[in-house]
Amino acid sequence: MRGLVPFVSYRLFRALIALWLVSTVVFVVMRLSGDPVPLLLPPDAPPSEMERVRRDLGLDRALPVQYAVFLGNLLRGDFGRSIHFREPAARVVMGYLPATFELALAAFGLAVIIAIPVGLISAMYRNSVVDHTVMGLALVGQSAPTFFLGILFILLLSLQAGLFPTSGRGDWTNLVLPALTLGAFAMASIARLTRSAVLEVMRADYIRTARAKGLGEAIIVAKHTLKNAAIPIVTITGLQFGTLLGGAVVTETVFSWPGIGRLAVQSIYNRDYPVVQCAVFLSAVAFIVINFAIDLIYGALDPRIRAG
Amino acid sequence: MVPSTPASARADAAPAALPRVARRRRRLRVPLLTAIGLVFVLLLGLVALTAPWIAPQDPTRQSLRGRLAAPTLEGADGRAHLFGTDHLGRDVLSRVMWGSRVSLSVGFAAVLVGGIMGSTLGILAGFRGGWADSIIMTIADAQLAFPFILLAIGIIAVLGPSFPTLIVVIGLSGWVAYARVLRSQVLTLRSREFVDAIRALGGSFPRIILQHILPNVLSTLVVIATLELARAIVLEATLSFLGLGIQPPTPSWGGMVQEGREYLDSAWWISTVPGLVLMATSIIVSRAGDWLRDVLDPTLRGE
């Protein structure tokens, strides 16, 4: 296990730097947004009242001091109060988190369950009609705009075929279309990578050896190919889970899914900056934590990574 | 393989063609799908340039009597609406044509912004090394470690949506791709003899960059820019769809898809036509990028 400690601490250091940069950007953006005080008070509030609120919020202090206070508040999970909901922004965002988590998990599960077998079949029947069709679809899935994919699903599978509800959150039928939409990009990427990883392994000498000693194709695939193709597949799969969070903003808006992505967009319309900041920051934390975890899993799977 | 040889190439292929020339031909042979794609992109550019003259109608002209008309050759207002009309009676075809101006101009401008910024920083990081390299690459990593659309939404929410904001934000979202690739290319170029020779002869830093490094990385730049163009166009449409991009009544594809959402079951064409054009553009431009990459710079495959 030599090399694990430097590996983990280097990754941890990078994750912390990324978090710090994100929070600094959030601070700068918040400063750019101008004076929040008029938004908090009725329009006819006297100047003395404005002064008092400004002092209460610490806005009369020097910028570096404000920055330090801001970072301190972040560490304690204090994002200020929501202007629209009139409760702490962090509590508002937390209330919307389960829906996003449910959607991301469903999208991810769907992507993995469909993409890995499909990629495997594509590789085994290379250059067949099935392979070409699947890879063509994967290309479409990778470059189609998420929001329009959602609209197409609603139009074809919901309005025309009547298979699924168009929007909202409820039982599993509500989950299918948003999960497909959100998972499409990940699905396409994982399928393409599985195909190329399996093809790569199939060329290896030990596969030829396995064939030469008369092993059946099923055993070769199950015991030799998949196991060795697993590392790149796990990596891209993990990376894709991270990108789902960004896609959630669009998908949730299209399907009126009550998650933090839609909350963030609506809070922008409501000029509810504390909620926007909290949602952006929490997404960043989730994203960075997931990537950090993937790095660790990857390092554990493949000793060569730790050495590098 | 022979049947796909373009007629022109076959005509001038002398019987005594050198093997090297033949090999070059084969490598540059444009696949049919890519050829179709290139024609599509050219047409799109042409439409964008000439929209004010060739669009059948004014894209913002409303007609209450001709609302939500299905694709028709003679609508209630006596005009042809090949792709129907929207909820305000505006001609969808004309709006899609005008929308291509937004998509392409924002797309190209954003690629330019991201490209200049990314290549400057990438070349700087690769050539100077040291702390400049560390800082630039740490920021690049941090940006990659974050779903940019959230940041874009935050920035646009604060600054307000406008053409310049949109271009800068989308440009910013793309600089990392150039910086990373150019840095690694410059790192390998830096230690080559010809750079040492120029240095020994007293060539200045800008001179080495502009005259000797840049021409060497130009094909790489073209490849990344093409792939980035597809991404920028989709990002602009996504932001416009969310109401944070181009504001109505200016027609943009993303905005049109958004406007048609409520009429999906009664007037599917409002959303579907601009959406399909956007999807086709995105797929074709990114395929063209893949093809360019394979032809110009196979080493980029892993990126």
**Which is more confidently placed, B144 or B233?**
B233
Q: What was the pLDDT predicted at A1?
A: 46
Nearest to A288 among B145, B149, B275 (CB): B145
Q: What percent of chain A has pLDDT over 90?
A: 2
Give the tens place of pLDDT for each residue, A57-81.
667 777 788 888 888 888 887 887 7
Contacts of B224 (CB under 8 A, 6+ apart): B115, B177, B178, B181, B300
Query: Residue B237: its chain A contacts at CB < 8 A?
Result: 145, 147-148
Phi and psi torsions of B85, nearest 5° = -125, 160
Distance from CA of A172 to the nearest CA of B (A): 23
pTM of the model: 0.81
Cα separation of A213 and B4, whole Å?
Answer: 42
Q: Tell me, what's the ipTM?
A: 0.78
* Range of A8-22, A258-272, B4-18 with top mean pLDDT: A258-272
**Which is more confidently placed, A106 or A308?**
A106
Q: Cβ–Cβ of A268/B279 closer than 8 Å?
A: no
Could you tell me if residue B30 is left (phi over 0), alpha (psi between -120 and 50 degrees) or otherwise beta? beta
Query: Residue B36: its chain A contacts at CB < 8 A?
Result: none
Name residue B81's beta-bridge partners: B72
Q: Cβ–Cβ of A265/B155 closer than 8 Å?
A: no
Report, as an integer, the average pLDDT of A170-198.
86
Q: Taking CA atoms, what residue in A is nearest to B134?
A: A14
Buried b (16+ CB within 10 A) or exposed e, A5-29: eebeeebeebbebbbebbbebbbeb
Q: B41 at the A interface (CB within 8 A)? A: no
Give the tens place of pLDDT for each residue, B27-71.
556 677 677 777 888 888 898 888 788 777 777 777 777 777 777
Q: B302 at the A interface (CB within 8 A)? A: no
Report, as an integer, the average pLDDT of A187-213.
85
